[in-house]
Amino acid sequence: MGDHTKTLLFKKITGLTDISASSVRKLFKITSPRQLFKGEIILKQGQGCKTIVFVEKGYLRTFMEREGIDINTDFTFENNFTTNLKSLRSNLPSETNIQAGESSTIYEFEKDELLNLYKASPEIESFGRKLLEQLLIAQEEHSTLFKIYSPAERYDYLLNNKPEFLQRVSLSQLASYLGVTRETLTRIRRKK
């Protein structure tokens, strides 16, 4: 057992909400670090999503398969949470896959255990609410990107606001995330 106060996860939780040391301990009691090798899949299309995941190191790729082609819908880098909320909440099969894009370290929170903590501790439920707020804001932002910008503008946006995307994610994978083909993304870059 390492000192959990050294982790990014600890800093994330305490930065997000006012929370007692004992509540933080309760959260750490239901999770532990898990190593993933590059390419390892932690959620498969068709399966139920049972956990919320925090990325301590590395990054996760969320994608759907459609007519044999991967479409990347999200990338979660270190210091962020991700899940498939629709599947998590309703126990429906997930429409997305989640896979490690690099060798990674994650913390997983089981839905049921988290719900028990919510019931027992208002402080922890408050944390849960703020976590959802963050996820929703990020989603809003990404959604807007598609609504108001052209593919080239979306690329510029990433370049300026999330340069880690371009450094760590391959062009092919970035393309579907930006909603264009690989060739179009090449054309966009050529014009610079």
Provide the binding-site residues for a second copy, judged by CB under 8 A: 64, 66, 71, 73, 84-86, 89, 95, 118, 122, 125-126, 128-129, 132-133, 135-137, 139-144, 146-148, 176, 179
CA distance 174 to 152: 13
Alpha carbons 82 and 62: distance in angstroms, whole number: 9
Asked if 184 touches DNA (CB under 7 A), the answer is yes
**How many whole angstroms separate alpha carbon 8 and alpha carbon 52?**
16
Q: Which amino acid is at 21?
A: A
CB of 108 to DNA, least distance (A): 26
Q: Which residue has the tokens 């264009």?
A: 180
Among 134, 143, 144, 170, binds DNA (CB under 7 A): 170
Contact 151, 179 (CB under 8 A): yes
Tell whether residue 73 is a contact of DNA (CB under 7 A).
no
Choose, by CB under 7 A, the member of 46, 122, 163, 179 that binds DNA. 179
List interacting residues with DNA (CB under 7 A).
Answer: 150-152, 170-173, 179-184, 186-190
